[in-house]
Structure 1
Amino acid sequence: MKYVVVLGDGMADYPMQELDGKTPLQYAKKPNIDMLAKKGTVGLVKTIPEGIPPGSDAANLSVMGYSPEIYYTGRSPLEAVSMGIQLLPTDVALRCNLVYLSEDEPVYAHKTMIDYSSDEISTEEAKVLIEAVNEVLKSDSMIFYPGISYRHCMVWSNGRTGLGCTPPHDILEKKVTEYLPKEESGVLLEMMEKSYGILKDHPVNQSRKARGLRPANSIWLWGEGKKPALTSFSEKYDKSGTMISAVDLLKGIGLCAGLASVDVEGATGNIHTNFLGKANAAIEELDKGKDFVYVHVEAPDECGHRYEIENKVKSIELLDQKIVAPLLEGLKKHKAYRVLVLPDHPTPLSLRTHTSEPVPFIIYDSTKELQSAAECYDEAEAKKTGVFVEEGHKLMDLFITGKL
């Protein structure tokens, strides 16, 4: 038996007037996913436990079969593991976004969060900026590491958690005043303020402005935590597996769980990603003997944060056409396989941030095709079936065992 998870990050949503009162999942043309829904089990799963922030970190841990209430320690340490950073038990890792803040206000705390990704700055430009920040701000206890695009990392030796940090994608077009780090020493806020002075007139940003692009004029620190200790996926489920994602967070979860990680050329984490390349990589891993692949697609989430209605619909359609369709074709040779399709959490366009509501899922088993209670795959159809998995981390158990 082969096992494939196709996860459309943030794919679930609310009905939109611009989509004739439908959600993006209802509006999108997705014949392959709908076919799986008609022949599989469709329901709702609560991936975010009460009291835990609705992030992709906790949600994907849950989907992978790890209870966030036990294993979740923060987002950034998972990303740090993906970047090859060796964390000590006393280290605290923080996500370091390169953001674009408004420039007219002389006081940092009065600025507005314009763009959490600085127009999805290129990795090459970002590396130069993070190295400039590190050169000035690094110390015996703090060091910055360049990552991909706007996503980077700072490691704080003997650092603290519970710092009152806010994800920048949650405060788009808002003044940052109420969302700055609340830690007592003020060292994080001081670094963010100093970074503005380092970056605002940097040659890389001058070049970006000249090309009509938003500059990356500040770092933004958040998502702090210490390295988690996950039971390996192979020990937990007796299956070998691979994570396929363009996002450091998901690669980190996979690596912490003992999965292999495949880098797909052209995989970007946005709607311009190499969808087909991800499907081909998954098929290749299964053909090589892997039992399990987890294909993560960030695009719907990015479109939700950016209020790109048409692109969110398009990202779902591309996921159907260029990932699910070729996966199903490639799986035919294996005959016995199960496919799980779901988002990790909703990212409603109207809110531009994550929420904690249950999300719709499909479990399709090629050896046990069903006459589903759902006519297609979307939020309303999933609710209509009455199938509900209250503890999200148990869905993987049901998927692997086939006992749903």
Structure 2
Amino acid sequence: MKYIVILGDGMADRPIEALGNETPLAYAKTPMMDELAAKGEIGMVHTVPDGMSPGSDTANLSVLGYNPRKYYSGRSPLEALSIGVPMKDTDIALRCNLVTLSEEEDRYEDRTMIDHSSSEISTEDAAVLLEAVRKELETDEFKFYVGTSYRHLLIWDKGEVVSLAQPHDILEQKITDKLPENKALYEMMKKSYDILVNHPINIERKKQGLHPANSCWFWGAGTKPSLSSFEEKTGKKGAMISAVDLLKGIAVGSSMKVITVDGANGGLHTNYEGKAQAAVDVLTDKGYDFVYVHLEAPDEMGHQGSVERKVQAIENLDARIIRPIVEGLRANGEDFRMVILPDHPTPICIRTHSSDSVPYLLYDSTKEQANTWKYNEAEAEKTDNFVAEGYTLIDHLFEV
């Protein structure tokens, strides 16, 4: 038996008037997910423990079977594992987003957060910009490391876990009261704007109609993580397929295999087919029992507030990842159990994460059922299936 989790990041939502008061998941054309739902089980699962922030960090730990209350030490330290940054016990890791701030104001403090991803800047462009920042601002106390796209890392030697605003939570808001209270972090963010605002890459981006990556933004502070081995915990040899450093870091920390797919970039135009083929290959040819396939695009489209593109991302997930994985495993004669779900909602109406429960779909190729439901939030809520502790869902997947 093979086991698969397919995670549509931020895929869940709330009813939208423009979609006839349906959610993007209900509105999207998802024949593969609906077929599996009719032959399987659907329900709701609460992935984010009450009182914890509804981030992809806590939620994905939960889906992988790690209780966030026990294992979570911050988002950025998990990303540090992915990048290969050796953290000391006294180090603090912080996410360093390359963001877009408004440029009309005279003072940095008066600017507005326009885009947390700088039009999903490429890793190549971001690396050049971060190098310009590093040359001016890096010290023995603060070290910069390149990640993926707009997502980068700052390691603070003998630092402290400080409260910092998440940039995707303050879109279209003034940053005046969202800036770090720590003077050193604040000064680096302010100086980064002066370094980046007129950088040739940003001048060219504006000519192309793209948002400039004109400031660093620090958030997600945390300490060195300590995860137990996924294989020792579950008895399953696991692999991770994701373009996002956070998920790769969770995999590294739990001793799972990280599979890199060329062209996978965490955006809407990622290499869907490459991810699907990699999942089939690792389960059929590499001797792995479990694969976790993560798609970032629905979450990014939710943050952008784009209903149309979020629907497109969900349809791409259905047609270009789920269908080829199912068909590939069937063609190879593999028995499999698959869970499909979001980690958390990213509702279009608020453009950030919420802690609402999310719908899950569990399909077993050896025990097909005969139901009439489709896979979406409303239908999942109608069932009596509810998993109150998200980290126990994986135990349900591994039941045979």
After TM superposition, the score normalised by the length of structure 1 is: 0.97
Aligned-partner Cα distance in 2 for 1:94–1:343: 25
Query: Which residue does 1:127 correspond to in 2?
Result: 127
Deviations 1:286-337 (A, max 9, x none): 0121100000000100000001111111111111111111111111124321
Once the two structures are TM-superposed, the CA of residue 119 in structure 1 deviates from its matched residue by 1.3
SS in 2 for 1:178: coil
Query: Which residue does 1:279 correspond to in 2?
Result: 276
Aligned-partner Cα distance in 1 for 2:107–2:86: 36
Aligned match for 2:195, one of 178, 192, 198: 198
SS in 2 for 1:77: helix
Aligned-partner Cα distance in 2 for 1:400–1:88: 35
The equivalences for 1:178-217 within 5 A come to 178-183=177-182, 186-217=183-214
Aligned-partner Cα distance in 2 for 1:282–1:140: 41
Query: Which residue does 1:393 correspond to in 2?
Result: 391
Deviations 1:230-266 (A, max 9, x none): 1111000111111000110111111111111111111
Query: Which residue does 1:341 correspond to in 2?
Result: 340
The equivalences for 1:133-212 within 5 A come to 133-161=133-161, 163-183=162-182, 186-212=183-209
Q: Is 1:102 paired with 2:102? A: yes
Aligned-partner Cα distance in 2 for 1:210–1:317: 32
Q: How many residues align?
A: 398
Deviations 1:339-362 (A, max 9, x none): 000000000001100000100001
SS in 1 for 2:316: helix
Once the two structures are TM-superposed, the CA of residue 47 in structure 1 deviates from its matched residue by 0.3
Q: Is 1:243 paired with 2:240? A: yes
Query: Which residue does 1:24 correspond to in 2?
Result: 24
Aligned match for 1:320, one of 318, 321, 340: 318
Which residue identity does 2:287 align to in structure 1? G
Aligned-partner Cα distance in 1 for 2:204–2:322: 40
SS in 1 for 2:177: helix
Deviations 1:92-139 (A, max 9, x none): 110000011111212211110011111111211111111111111111
Query: Which residue does 1:296 correspond to in 2?
Result: 294
Once the two structures are TM-superposed, the CA of residue 182 in structure 1 deviates from its matched residue by 2.8
Gaps of 5+ in 1: none
Which residue identity does 1:178 align to in structure 2? D
SS in 2 for 1:293: strand
Query: Which residue does 1:3 correspond to in 2?
Result: 3
Which residue identity does 2:240 align to in structure 1? M
C-alpha RMSD of the superposition: 1.0
Identity %: 56
Question: Which stretch of the first structure deviates more once superposed, 105-114 or 8-17?
Answer: 105-114
Contact preservation (8 Å) 1:45, 1:359: yes
Gaps of 5+ in 2: none
Contact preservation (8 Å) 1:98, 1:116: yes
Aligned-partner Cα distance in 2 for 1:92–1:35: 46
Question: Which stretch of the first structure deviates more once superposed, 41-50 or 362-371?
Answer: 362-371
Contact preservation (8 Å) 1:2, 1:334: no
Which residue identity does 1:391 align to in structure 2? E
Deviations 1:152-194 (A, max 9, x none): 1000011100x121111111110011211233xx111111011
After TM superposition, the score normalised by the length of structure 2 is: 0.98
Once the two structures are TM-superposed, the CA of residue 90 in structure 1 deviates from its matched residue by 1.0
